[in-house]
Structure 1
Amino acid sequence: MRPISIEIVSDWVCPWCYIGKRRLERALQQRPGLPVTLHWSPFQLSPDMPPEGRDRAEHYAEIFGPERARMIIETMRETARDEGLEFGDRPGARSPNTLLAHLLMDFAAAQGADATRLAERLFAAHHVDCEDLGDPAVLQEIAADCGLDAEAAAAALASPERRERVGRQVREMAARGINGVPFFVFNGRYAVSGAQPADALLQVIDRLAA
Protein backbone atom coordinates (compact mmCIF):
# COMPACT_ATOMS: atom_id res chain seq x y z
CA MET A 1 0.00 0.00 0.00
CA ARG A 2 1.21 3.48 -0.82
CA PRO A 3 1.85 5.87 2.08
CA ILE A 4 -0.70 8.63 2.61
CA SER A 5 -0.41 12.07 4.17
CA ILE A 6 -3.49 13.69 5.66
CA GLU A 7 -3.68 17.35 6.59
CA ILE A 8 -6.44 17.95 9.13
CA VAL A 9 -7.60 21.56 9.28
CA SER A 10 -9.57 22.05 12.48
CA ASP A 11 -10.43 24.20 15.47
CA TRP A 12 -10.43 22.70 18.94
CA VAL A 13 -13.82 24.15 19.89
CA CYS A 14 -15.50 22.64 16.81
CA PRO A 15 -17.55 19.59 17.86
CA TRP A 16 -17.68 18.28 14.31
CA CYS A 17 -13.88 18.37 14.17
CA TYR A 18 -13.74 16.03 17.17
CA ILE A 19 -16.38 13.81 15.60
CA GLY A 20 -14.49 13.93 12.31
CA LYS A 21 -11.30 12.85 14.09
CA ARG A 22 -13.09 9.80 15.49
CA ARG A 23 -14.47 8.90 12.07
CA LEU A 24 -11.06 9.21 10.45
CA GLU A 25 -9.62 6.98 13.18
CA ARG A 26 -12.30 4.37 12.53
CA ALA A 27 -11.48 4.44 8.83
CA LEU A 28 -7.74 4.06 9.47
CA GLN A 29 -8.32 1.23 11.94
CA GLN A 30 -9.67 -0.80 9.03
CA ARG A 31 -6.29 -0.48 7.26
CA PRO A 32 -3.82 -1.23 10.08
CA GLY A 33 -0.83 -1.75 7.80
CA LEU A 34 -1.22 1.52 5.93
CA PRO A 35 1.60 4.06 6.48
CA VAL A 36 -0.12 7.35 7.31
CA THR A 37 1.24 10.75 8.30
CA LEU A 38 -1.14 13.21 9.97
CA HIS A 39 -0.58 16.96 10.09
CA TRP A 40 -2.78 19.32 12.10
CA SER A 41 -3.36 22.80 10.63
CA PRO A 42 -4.98 25.68 12.52
CA PHE A 43 -8.36 27.25 11.87
CA GLN A 44 -10.32 29.68 14.03
CA LEU A 45 -14.09 29.67 13.94
CA SER A 46 -14.17 32.82 16.11
CA PRO A 47 -10.92 34.71 15.49
CA ASP A 48 -12.37 37.85 17.08
CA MET A 49 -13.18 36.10 20.35
CA PRO A 50 -11.69 38.17 23.21
CA PRO A 51 -8.68 36.63 24.97
CA GLU A 52 -10.77 35.88 28.06
CA GLY A 53 -13.40 34.09 25.99
CA ARG A 54 -17.13 34.15 26.61
CA ASP A 55 -19.73 32.10 28.41
CA ARG A 56 -20.28 29.12 26.11
CA ALA A 57 -24.07 28.95 26.40
CA GLU A 58 -24.40 32.67 25.75
CA HIS A 59 -22.03 32.45 22.79
CA TYR A 60 -24.04 29.63 21.16
CA ALA A 61 -27.30 31.46 21.79
CA GLU A 62 -25.93 34.61 20.20
CA ILE A 63 -24.83 32.76 17.07
CA PHE A 64 -27.88 30.56 16.53
CA GLY A 65 -30.62 31.98 18.74
CA PRO A 66 -31.58 30.28 22.04
CA GLU A 67 -34.02 27.68 20.69
CA ARG A 68 -31.99 26.71 17.64
CA ALA A 69 -28.85 26.55 19.77
CA ARG A 70 -30.51 24.00 22.07
CA MET A 71 -31.55 21.87 19.09
CA ILE A 72 -28.10 22.03 17.51
CA ILE A 73 -26.38 21.12 20.77
CA GLU A 74 -28.66 18.14 21.33
CA THR A 75 -28.11 16.86 17.79
CA MET A 76 -24.38 17.32 18.24
CA ARG A 77 -24.42 15.38 21.53
CA GLU A 78 -26.36 12.49 19.98
CA THR A 79 -23.96 12.31 17.04
CA ALA A 80 -20.99 12.41 19.40
CA ARG A 81 -22.44 9.53 21.44
CA ASP A 82 -22.65 7.48 18.25
CA GLU A 83 -18.88 7.94 17.99
CA GLY A 84 -18.27 6.98 21.62
CA LEU A 85 -17.91 10.56 22.86
CA GLU A 86 -19.82 11.96 25.83
CA PHE A 87 -19.73 15.75 25.65
CA GLY A 88 -19.80 17.58 28.97
CA ASP A 89 -22.33 20.19 30.01
CA ARG A 90 -21.05 22.43 32.78
CA PRO A 91 -22.67 25.76 33.69
CA GLY A 92 -20.21 28.58 33.20
CA ALA A 93 -18.08 26.70 30.66
CA ARG A 94 -16.16 29.03 28.38
CA SER A 95 -15.93 29.47 24.64
CA PRO A 96 -12.26 30.45 24.36
CA ASN A 97 -10.15 32.18 21.80
CA THR A 98 -8.30 29.14 20.47
CA LEU A 99 -5.14 30.86 19.25
CA LEU A 100 -3.12 29.81 22.31
CA ALA A 101 -4.18 26.18 21.85
CA HIS A 102 -3.01 26.37 18.23
CA LEU A 103 0.31 27.81 19.46
CA LEU A 104 0.66 24.77 21.71
CA MET A 105 0.10 22.43 18.76
CA ASP A 106 2.68 24.35 16.74
CA PHE A 107 5.14 23.97 19.62
CA ALA A 108 4.43 20.25 19.94
CA ALA A 109 4.99 19.68 16.23
CA ALA A 110 8.29 21.57 16.40
CA GLN A 111 9.35 19.32 19.28
CA GLY A 112 8.56 16.17 17.32
CA ALA A 113 5.88 15.26 19.86
CA ASP A 114 2.84 13.09 19.18
CA ALA A 115 0.61 15.78 17.70
CA THR A 116 -2.41 13.50 17.42
CA ARG A 117 -2.18 12.66 21.12
CA LEU A 118 -2.18 16.39 21.87
CA ALA A 119 -5.10 16.94 19.48
CA GLU A 120 -7.12 14.32 21.36
CA ARG A 121 -6.30 15.97 24.68
CA LEU A 122 -7.26 19.44 23.43
CA PHE A 123 -10.55 18.23 21.98
CA ALA A 124 -11.41 16.30 25.14
CA ALA A 125 -10.46 19.20 27.38
CA HIS A 126 -12.98 21.47 25.69
CA HIS A 127 -15.81 19.13 24.74
CA VAL A 128 -15.73 16.48 27.47
CA ASP A 129 -14.14 18.16 30.48
CA CYS A 130 -15.33 21.74 29.76
CA GLU A 131 -11.89 23.17 30.47
CA ASP A 132 -10.90 26.64 29.27
CA LEU A 133 -8.46 26.36 26.37
CA GLY A 134 -7.84 30.09 26.59
CA ASP A 135 -6.21 29.68 30.01
CA PRO A 136 -2.40 29.29 29.72
CA ALA A 137 -2.33 27.28 32.97
CA VAL A 138 -4.77 24.75 31.51
CA LEU A 139 -2.66 24.48 28.35
CA GLN A 140 0.52 23.99 30.39
CA GLU A 141 -1.15 21.11 32.22
CA ILE A 142 -2.25 19.59 28.93
CA ALA A 143 1.28 19.96 27.59
CA ALA A 144 2.70 18.14 30.60
CA ASP A 145 0.07 15.39 30.24
CA CYS A 146 1.32 14.86 26.69
CA GLY A 147 4.96 14.59 27.70
CA LEU A 148 5.98 18.15 26.84
CA ASP A 149 8.02 20.41 29.10
CA ALA A 150 5.50 22.71 30.78
CA GLU A 151 7.92 25.63 31.17
CA ALA A 152 9.00 25.42 27.53
CA ALA A 153 5.33 25.26 26.55
CA ALA A 154 4.62 28.39 28.60
CA ALA A 155 7.42 30.19 26.78
CA ALA A 156 5.99 29.06 23.44
CA LEU A 157 2.56 30.40 24.37
CA ALA A 158 4.11 33.79 25.16
CA SER A 159 6.22 33.97 22.00
CA PRO A 160 5.29 36.89 19.71
CA GLU A 161 7.09 35.19 16.81
CA ARG A 162 5.09 31.98 17.23
CA ARG A 163 1.87 33.96 17.55
CA GLU A 164 2.60 35.76 14.30
CA ARG A 165 3.51 32.55 12.48
CA VAL A 166 0.41 30.66 13.59
CA GLY A 167 -1.78 33.68 12.91
CA ARG A 168 -0.39 33.74 9.40
CA GLN A 169 -1.19 30.04 9.01
CA VAL A 170 -4.77 30.71 10.08
CA ARG A 171 -5.08 33.44 7.47
CA GLU A 172 -3.61 31.13 4.85
CA MET A 173 -6.47 28.69 5.40
CA ALA A 174 -8.93 31.38 4.32
CA ALA A 175 -6.73 32.21 1.33
CA ARG A 176 -6.95 28.54 0.32
CA GLY A 177 -10.74 28.84 0.30
CA ILE A 178 -11.27 26.87 3.49
CA ASN A 179 -14.23 28.43 5.29
CA GLY A 180 -15.41 25.54 7.45
CA VAL A 181 -13.95 22.66 9.41
CA PRO A 182 -13.10 19.86 9.64
CA PHE A 183 -11.34 19.91 6.31
CA PHE A 184 -9.13 17.01 5.24
CA VAL A 185 -6.51 17.18 2.50
CA PHE A 186 -5.16 13.82 1.32
CA ASN A 187 -1.69 13.77 -0.25
CA GLY A 188 -1.81 17.53 -0.67
CA ARG A 189 -4.36 17.26 -3.49
CA TYR A 190 -7.66 15.62 -2.58
CA ALA A 191 -9.93 17.58 -0.26
CA VAL A 192 -12.82 16.32 1.84
CA SER A 193 -14.93 18.86 3.68
CA GLY A 194 -16.94 18.13 6.82
CA ALA A 195 -17.19 15.26 9.30
CA GLN A 196 -17.86 12.66 6.63
CA PRO A 197 -18.76 9.07 7.61
CA ALA A 198 -15.87 6.67 8.14
CA ASP A 199 -16.88 4.68 5.05
CA ALA A 200 -16.62 7.77 2.85
CA LEU A 201 -13.16 8.57 4.21
CA LEU A 202 -12.12 4.96 3.71
CA GLN A 203 -13.08 5.13 0.04
CA VAL A 204 -10.69 8.05 -0.44
CA ILE A 205 -7.95 6.28 1.52
CA ASP A 206 -8.29 3.08 -0.49
CA ARG A 207 -8.23 4.93 -3.79
CA LEU A 208 -4.99 6.70 -2.87
CA ALA A 209 -3.33 3.67 -1.28
CA ALA A 210 -3.96 1.34 -4.22
Structure 2
Amino acid sequence: MTAAPYRPSLSVDVFLDVICPWCFVGKRHLDAAIDMIPDIDIAVRWRAFQLDPTIPKEGKDRRAYMLDKFRDPARIDEIHGKLTDIGMAIDIPFAFDRIAITPNTLDSHRLIRWAGAEDLGTAAVEGLCSAFFCEGRDLTDEATLAAIADEIGLDGDEIRDRLATDIDLEIIRAEIDYAGRIGITGVPCYVMGGRYAISGAQPPEMMADAFRRVAAELSTRAAE
Protein backbone atom coordinates (compact mmCIF):
# COMPACT_ATOMS: atom_id res chain seq x y z
CA MET A 1 0.00 0.00 0.00
CA THR A 2 1.46 3.37 -1.03
CA ALA A 3 1.88 5.81 1.80
CA ALA A 4 0.13 9.15 1.50
CA PRO A 5 2.50 11.94 0.44
CA TYR A 6 3.83 14.07 3.25
CA ARG A 7 2.00 17.36 3.76
CA PRO A 8 3.61 20.07 5.88
CA SER A 9 1.37 21.77 8.40
CA LEU A 10 1.43 25.09 10.19
CA SER A 11 -0.57 26.59 13.03
CA VAL A 12 -1.42 30.28 12.68
CA ASP A 13 -2.74 32.15 15.70
CA VAL A 14 -4.55 35.26 14.49
CA PHE A 15 -4.97 38.01 17.07
CA LEU A 16 -7.72 40.41 16.04
CA ASP A 17 -10.60 42.61 17.11
CA VAL A 18 -13.83 42.63 15.14
CA ILE A 19 -14.12 46.42 15.34
CA CYS A 20 -10.80 46.76 13.51
CA PRO A 21 -11.43 47.25 9.77
CA TRP A 22 -7.88 46.20 8.97
CA CYS A 23 -8.58 42.89 10.72
CA PHE A 24 -11.47 42.32 8.31
CA VAL A 25 -9.16 43.12 5.38
CA GLY A 26 -6.52 40.86 6.93
CA LYS A 27 -9.03 38.03 7.29
CA ARG A 28 -9.83 38.19 3.59
CA HIS A 29 -6.12 38.33 2.75
CA LEU A 30 -5.57 35.31 4.97
CA ASP A 31 -8.28 33.39 3.11
CA ALA A 32 -6.58 34.22 -0.19
CA ALA A 33 -3.12 33.29 1.14
CA ILE A 34 -4.33 29.88 2.29
CA ASP A 35 -5.84 29.25 -1.14
CA MET A 36 -2.42 29.95 -2.67
CA ILE A 37 -0.73 27.12 -0.74
CA PRO A 38 -3.08 24.11 -0.96
CA ASP A 39 -0.14 21.75 -0.34
CA ILE A 40 0.22 23.00 3.25
CA ASP A 41 -2.29 22.30 6.01
CA ILE A 42 -2.91 25.63 7.75
CA ALA A 43 -4.65 25.43 11.12
CA VAL A 44 -6.04 28.87 11.99
CA ARG A 45 -6.84 29.73 15.59
CA TRP A 46 -8.56 33.03 16.30
CA ARG A 47 -7.27 34.88 19.37
CA ALA A 48 -8.82 37.78 21.27
CA PHE A 49 -7.49 41.32 21.32
CA GLN A 50 -9.26 44.57 22.21
CA LEU A 51 -8.41 47.85 20.55
CA ASP A 52 -10.18 49.69 23.34
CA PRO A 53 -11.11 47.72 26.47
CA THR A 54 -12.46 50.91 28.08
CA ILE A 55 -15.56 50.90 25.87
CA PRO A 56 -18.52 50.16 28.17
CA LYS A 57 -20.59 47.01 27.75
CA GLU A 58 -23.40 49.01 26.15
CA GLY A 59 -20.95 50.41 23.59
CA LYS A 60 -20.20 53.98 22.61
CA ASP A 61 -21.70 56.32 20.06
CA ARG A 62 -19.72 55.69 16.88
CA ARG A 63 -19.18 59.32 15.92
CA ALA A 64 -18.05 60.22 19.44
CA TYR A 65 -15.72 57.21 19.51
CA MET A 66 -14.10 58.13 16.20
CA LEU A 67 -13.73 61.80 17.12
CA ASP A 68 -12.15 60.86 20.46
CA LYS A 69 -9.69 58.65 18.60
CA PHE A 70 -8.80 60.76 15.55
CA ARG A 71 -9.98 64.29 16.53
CA ASP A 72 -10.23 65.55 12.95
CA PRO A 73 -13.41 64.70 10.95
CA ALA A 74 -11.46 65.16 7.71
CA ARG A 75 -8.96 62.54 8.88
CA ILE A 76 -11.82 60.14 9.61
CA ASP A 77 -13.25 60.68 6.14
CA GLU A 78 -9.81 60.07 4.63
CA ILE A 79 -9.40 56.78 6.52
CA HIS A 80 -12.88 55.60 5.61
CA GLY A 81 -12.34 56.50 1.97
CA LYS A 82 -9.09 54.54 1.80
CA LEU A 83 -10.65 51.51 3.45
CA THR A 84 -13.69 51.68 1.18
CA ASP A 85 -11.43 51.55 -1.87
CA ILE A 86 -9.43 48.65 -0.44
CA GLY A 87 -12.62 46.83 0.49
CA MET A 88 -14.04 47.12 -3.02
CA ALA A 89 -11.10 45.12 -4.36
CA ILE A 90 -11.72 42.19 -2.00
CA ASP A 91 -15.52 42.18 -1.90
CA ILE A 92 -15.96 44.02 1.40
CA PRO A 93 -18.64 46.70 0.97
CA PHE A 94 -17.66 48.85 3.93
CA ALA A 95 -20.63 50.98 5.03
CA PHE A 96 -19.18 53.10 7.82
CA ASP A 97 -22.15 55.46 7.73
CA ARG A 98 -24.44 52.64 8.89
CA ILE A 99 -22.53 52.06 12.13
CA ALA A 100 -24.24 53.76 15.09
CA ILE A 101 -22.48 52.06 18.02
CA THR A 102 -18.91 50.94 18.55
CA PRO A 103 -19.20 47.91 20.85
CA ASN A 104 -17.13 46.45 23.61
CA THR A 105 -16.06 43.21 21.93
CA LEU A 106 -15.74 40.78 24.85
CA ASP A 107 -19.01 39.08 23.89
CA SER A 108 -18.00 38.92 20.23
CA HIS A 109 -14.80 37.19 21.27
CA ARG A 110 -16.81 34.73 23.36
CA LEU A 111 -18.90 33.91 20.31
CA ILE A 112 -15.75 33.36 18.23
CA ARG A 113 -14.40 31.04 20.93
CA TRP A 114 -17.59 29.00 21.07
CA ALA A 115 -17.77 28.84 17.29
CA GLY A 116 -14.15 27.70 17.16
CA ALA A 117 -15.02 24.69 19.31
CA GLU A 118 -17.33 23.64 16.45
CA ASP A 119 -14.80 24.42 13.69
CA LEU A 120 -16.79 27.55 12.87
CA GLY A 121 -14.36 30.16 14.17
CA THR A 122 -13.55 31.54 10.73
CA ALA A 123 -17.25 31.75 9.88
CA ALA A 124 -17.86 33.63 13.14
CA VAL A 125 -15.14 36.19 12.38
CA GLU A 126 -16.51 36.70 8.88
CA GLY A 127 -20.08 36.96 10.17
CA LEU A 128 -19.27 39.43 12.93
CA CYS A 129 -17.11 41.66 10.74
CA SER A 130 -19.66 41.67 7.93
CA ALA A 131 -22.50 42.40 10.34
CA PHE A 132 -20.64 45.33 11.88
CA PHE A 133 -18.85 46.92 8.93
CA CYS A 134 -21.26 46.18 6.08
CA GLU A 135 -24.64 46.19 7.81
CA GLY A 136 -24.07 48.37 10.86
CA ARG A 137 -25.58 45.77 13.18
CA ASP A 138 -25.27 46.35 16.93
CA LEU A 139 -22.76 43.87 18.37
CA THR A 140 -23.65 44.93 21.92
CA ASP A 141 -27.07 43.30 21.45
CA GLU A 142 -27.27 39.67 22.57
CA ALA A 143 -30.10 39.09 20.08
CA THR A 144 -27.84 40.26 17.26
CA LEU A 145 -25.03 37.95 18.35
CA ALA A 146 -27.47 35.06 18.68
CA ALA A 147 -28.76 35.76 15.17
CA ILE A 148 -25.21 35.75 13.80
CA ALA A 149 -24.63 32.45 15.61
CA ASP A 150 -27.70 31.01 13.89
CA GLU A 151 -26.47 32.29 10.52
CA ILE A 152 -23.16 30.43 10.81
CA GLY A 153 -24.67 27.15 12.00
CA LEU A 154 -24.68 27.41 15.80
CA ASP A 155 -27.70 27.22 18.06
CA GLY A 156 -28.65 30.86 18.53
CA ASP A 157 -30.85 30.18 21.55
CA GLU A 158 -28.01 28.38 23.29
CA ILE A 159 -25.61 31.23 22.47
CA ARG A 160 -28.09 33.78 23.84
CA ASP A 161 -28.31 31.80 27.09
CA ARG A 162 -24.52 31.66 27.37
CA LEU A 163 -24.15 35.38 26.70
CA ALA A 164 -26.47 36.10 29.62
CA THR A 165 -23.84 34.54 31.92
CA ASP A 166 -20.14 35.15 32.57
CA ILE A 167 -19.08 31.90 30.87
CA ASP A 168 -15.54 32.20 29.44
CA LEU A 169 -15.25 35.93 30.14
CA GLU A 170 -12.15 35.38 32.26
CA ILE A 171 -10.64 33.14 29.59
CA ILE A 172 -11.10 35.88 27.00
CA ARG A 173 -9.63 38.49 29.33
CA ALA A 174 -6.66 36.20 30.00
CA GLU A 175 -6.11 35.76 26.27
CA ILE A 176 -6.13 39.53 25.77
CA ASP A 177 -3.63 39.90 28.61
CA TYR A 178 -1.47 37.21 27.01
CA ALA A 179 -1.37 39.14 23.75
CA GLY A 180 0.03 42.11 25.63
CA ARG A 181 2.61 40.00 27.45
CA ILE A 182 4.04 38.64 24.20
CA GLY A 183 4.33 42.13 22.79
CA ILE A 184 1.31 42.42 20.53
CA THR A 185 0.23 46.05 20.46
CA GLY A 186 -1.71 46.14 17.20
CA VAL A 187 -3.84 43.85 15.09
CA PRO A 188 -4.16 41.86 12.97
CA CYS A 189 -1.14 39.88 14.08
CA TYR A 190 -0.36 36.38 12.81
CA VAL A 191 1.80 34.11 14.98
CA MET A 192 3.11 31.22 12.91
CA GLY A 193 4.05 27.95 14.58
CA GLY A 194 4.26 29.72 17.91
CA ARG A 195 7.62 31.20 16.85
CA TYR A 196 7.31 33.96 14.26
CA ALA A 197 4.89 36.80 13.73
CA ILE A 198 3.80 39.13 10.98
CA SER A 199 1.68 42.17 11.70
CA GLY A 200 -0.83 44.10 9.66
CA ALA A 201 -3.11 43.27 6.75
CA GLN A 202 -0.25 42.16 4.54
CA PRO A 203 -0.83 41.19 0.88
CA PRO A 204 -1.87 37.56 0.39
CA GLU A 205 1.28 36.78 -1.60
CA MET A 206 3.48 37.96 1.26
CA MET A 207 1.49 35.97 3.79
CA ALA A 208 1.55 32.81 1.68
CA ASP A 209 5.32 33.10 1.25
CA ALA A 210 5.81 33.56 5.00
CA PHE A 211 3.61 30.56 5.77
CA ARG A 212 5.51 28.40 3.29
CA ARG A 213 8.91 29.43 4.64
CA VAL A 214 7.97 28.89 8.29
CA ALA A 215 6.28 25.54 7.58
CA ALA A 216 9.42 24.37 5.74
CA GLU A 217 11.70 25.52 8.56
CA LEU A 218 9.61 23.83 11.25
CA SER A 219 9.44 20.63 9.22
CA THR A 220 13.24 20.62 8.85
CA ARG A 221 13.71 21.17 12.58
CA ALA A 222 11.30 18.34 13.39
CA ALA A 223 13.26 15.98 11.13
CA GLU A 224 16.63 16.75 12.73
TM-score above 0.5, yes or no: yes
Question: How far does residue 191 in structure 1 lie from its aligned partner after superposition?
Answer: 0.3
Q: Which has the larger radius of gyration?
A: 2
Q: What is the number of residues matched between the two proteins?
A: 209
Alignment of 1:58-207 (within 5 A): 58-65=64-71, 66-91=73-98, 93-110=100-117, 112-207=118-213
Per-residue CA distance 1:157-188 (angstroms, 9 max, x = gap) = 13324111211111111111111000001111
Given the alignment of the two structures, is residue 209 of structure 1 paired with residue 215 of structure 2, yes or no?
yes
Q: SS of the counterpart of 1:184?
A: strand
Which consecutive residues of structure 2, in runs of 5 or more, have no partner in the other structure?
A: 1-6, 217-224
Give the TM-score of the pair, scaled to structure 1.
0.94
Alignment of 1:25-36 (within 5 A): 25-36=31-42
Runs of 4+ in 1 over 4 A off after TM superposition: none
Question: How far does residue 204 in structure 1 lie from its aligned partner after superposition?
Answer: 0.6
Distance 2:114 2:167 in 1: 12
Q: SS of the counterpart of 1:90?
A: helix
Partner of 2:3: none
Q: What's the % identity of the aligned pairs?
A: 34
Q: Is the 8 A contact 1:2 1:34 kept in 2?
A: yes
Give the TM-score of the pair, scaled to structure 2.
0.88
- Which deviates more from structure 2 when the two are superposed, residues 87-96 or residues 172-181? 87-96
Q: SS of the counterpart of 2:92?
A: coil
Q: Is the 8 A contact 2:116 2:122 kept in 1?
A: no
Distance 1:79 1:193 in 2: 18
Q: Could you say what the CA RMSD is over the residues aligned between the two structures, in angstroms?
A: 1.5
Q: SS of the counterpart of 1:202?
A: helix
Query: What code does the residue aligned with 1:27 have?
Result: A
Q: SS of the counterpart of 2:91?
A: coil
